């Protein structure tokens, strides 16, 4: 694999990561991200206000409810929730936020990205940890290559 862009490498060096947007229904992007981060040694906290448990783990209704410090947040929700999540992350002192996006809008909200920048949070806009974390499957490797050409993922 080619070198990982520094914002992505910095995010993945974090050990305690929350994933907002996990679902009670398996097969969702956020659930796949949650699972991969766990498989690669991260302590991961699912966040969904409508679920008590996801993927066999306790689910938290918001970032405030997650115990202890967090090194990063993956936002894999509808973009309309992104700004509120950034504000919660800022209150928690979370230094990095990854906005999930592949081919469509994904979770990216321009307002939320500006909010990150205003609050000193490093935003990663586009792609997802599955394109960089652990052994990358051929589908995500191809997606990373294509989205890099389109400048829709880091580096």
pLDDT tens digits, residue range 35-58?
Answer: 999 999 999 999 999 999 998 899
pLDDT tens across 67-111, in order? Answer: 999 999 999 999 999 999 999 999 999 999 999 987 677 889 999
Task: Flag whether pLDDT at 2 surpasses 60.
Answer: no
Contacts of 33 (CB under 8 A, 6+ apart): 19, 74, 76, 100, 128, 129, 130
DSSP for 39-85? HTT-EEEEE-TT-SEETTEE-BSSGGGS-S--SEEEE-S-GGGHHHH
Three-class SS state of 97: strand
Query: Where do the domains of the chain lie, and which CATH numbers do they carry?
Result: 6-149 (3.40.50.720)
pTM above 0.85, yes or no: yes
């Amino acid at each position: 694999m080619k070198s990982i862009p520094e914002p992505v490498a910095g995010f993945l060096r974090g050990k305690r990561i929350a994933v907002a947007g996990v679902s009670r229904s398996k097969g969702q992007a956020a659930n796949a991200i949650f699972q991969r981060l766990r498989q690669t040694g991260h302590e991961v906290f699912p966040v969904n206000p409508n679920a008590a448990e996801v993927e066999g783990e306790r689910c938290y209704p918001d970032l405030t409810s997650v115990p202890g410090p967090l090194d990063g947040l993956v936002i894999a929700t509808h973009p309309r929730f992104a700004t509120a999540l950034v504000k919660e992350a800022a209150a928690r002192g979370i230094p990095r936020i990854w906005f999930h996006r592949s081919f469509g809008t994904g979770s990216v909200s321009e307002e939320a990205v500006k909010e990150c920048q205003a609050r000193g949070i490093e935003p990663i806009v586009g792609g997802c940890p599955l394109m960089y974390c652990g052994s990358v499957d051929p589908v995500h490797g191809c997606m990373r290559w294509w989205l890099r050409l389109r400048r829709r993922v880091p580096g």
